[in-house]
Structure 1
């Protein structure tokens, strides 16, 4: 059993006498991902990483990995011109993360990894600020945007033209293919948008970036096989953080 919320209170108490518990907090956002992919693409990817990491470490003698109920809502404004963008403020997200991690620490579970796959700058900045507020080495944020980390991911991810494109759509196809409108996906032409550069130029919504269907990249090229391969890489990155965290006093 890997879901923290599925445990009884006695089972939670028993965790304190066994292998070092490390808790994973999946984070994402509910926002448009083109006309083909689900609004919950980001939390789906975070959950997929967590599920795989917990399964891979299920028999580890030195660490017990448990997955917390996800925080599916994030700071999301770039897709507000399209149906389905449901966001929270920076202060709300910050307070949720800080309060959840503080409550867990008070229960004897200080080791938490925040697993996020929504990369709107204000959202990422808020999560990093929450980690800084907590000011504990036992709370980590797996930052997939760091250069050495991103270098291990796909060409499209590294290009910055990857919102609801081949990268993200492949990951959803790997775990929840029924949520992807593959007929529509197949009709979408590649759309190259350097999102980081557009953001630096002050464009803060998808239409201003030229994303008139709330996607960029090449969703028609997405495959479940690529998604499974990418999940393998993402899972290895997460496991590295978990193992390091398990050693922290």
Structure 2
């Protein structure tokens, strides 16, 4: 059985409301991820988490999980100096999330979890604000915020370091799901590059090049492996399953 909400017919969608549906909204951004990883890295990770969580809960006696069409465009100002960055404004992103979740709630689909893997401050801020706006409207929307301390502590050392854009962490996840999209020869030749992205962002830096990421990556992509990606997906999926269960409590 497909886990995709959009694969349902209209009568099937109506029948879904008779169960306890939780809908997952994968979010990301189309932006540069070094010279080796695809522009679609962030949406790919979000979609991979959603698929794994839906698989894990396929036989759950209480909850029925469906995956909404992905919202793949986000705020991409940091990567705008590179080809392939396709950005929308924070206002547009926030409005899209509010309107999508409001439309679903009006039809009786009141349990939605936003699953995001793009961490540009304005992008994350827009998602957090959208969830608050929905709450103010009486629509309780889940948001799996991977930047919260408790979530960060369950992920890899590179992710915790903050030097992880298109590095070992993200590249491993792509290798686990879509290895054919990684230029492994280029990946293997990339030197490790330490950039404290949270500190740079906090200091007001607004672009990869300004941070010293002249090839749109930091971290250690050459150390990436599919095995690590599979392990990390396990951790991410566990976090998402917990967020799903929070929606039905």
Unaligned runs of 5+ in 2: none
What is the deviation of 1:138?
2.7
Structure 1 spans left out of the alignment, 5+ residues: none
What does residue 132 of structure 1 align with? 132
SS at match of 1:23: strand
Whether the 8 Å contact between 2:110 and 2:139 is mirrored in structure 1 is no
Secondary structure in structure 1 of the residue aligned to 2:201: helix
2:48–2:177 Cα contact (<8 Å) kept = yes
Task: State the match for 1:8 in structure 2.
Answer: 9
Cα root mean square deviation, aligned: 0.7
Deviation at 1:191, TM superposition (A): 0.1
Question: Which of 240, 246, 249 is the matching residue for 2:248?
Answer: 246
Number of aligned residue pairs: 246
The answer to whether the aligner puts 1:215 opposite 2:243 as a matched pair is: no
What is the alpha-carbon distance in structure 1 between the residues aligned to residue 100 and residue 175 of structure 2?
31
Report the counterpart of residue 165 of structure 2 in structure 1. 163
Note the 1:192-211 alignment, pairs <5 A.
Answer: 192-211=194-213
The C-alpha deviation readout for 1:22-65, integer Å capped at 9, x for no partner, is 00000000000000000000000000000000000000010000
SS at match of 2:25: strand
Distance 2:247 2:116 in 1: 17
In 1, the alpha carbon distance for the partners of 2:146 and 2:95 equals: 22
- When normalised by structure 2's length, the TM-score is 0.98
Instruction: Please state whether the residue corresponding to 1:115 is helix, strand or coil.
Output: strand
- Which aligned pairs between 1:1-249 and structure 2 lie closer than 5 A? 1-18=2-19, 20-135=20-135, 136=138, 138-247=140-249
Aligned to 1:209, the other structure's residue is in SS state coil
Deviations 1:122-160 (A, max 9, x none): 000000000011114630110001111100000000000
Moved over 2 A (4+): none
Q: How far apart are residue 16 of structure 1 and its match?
A: 1.6
> Structure 1-normalised TM-score?
0.98
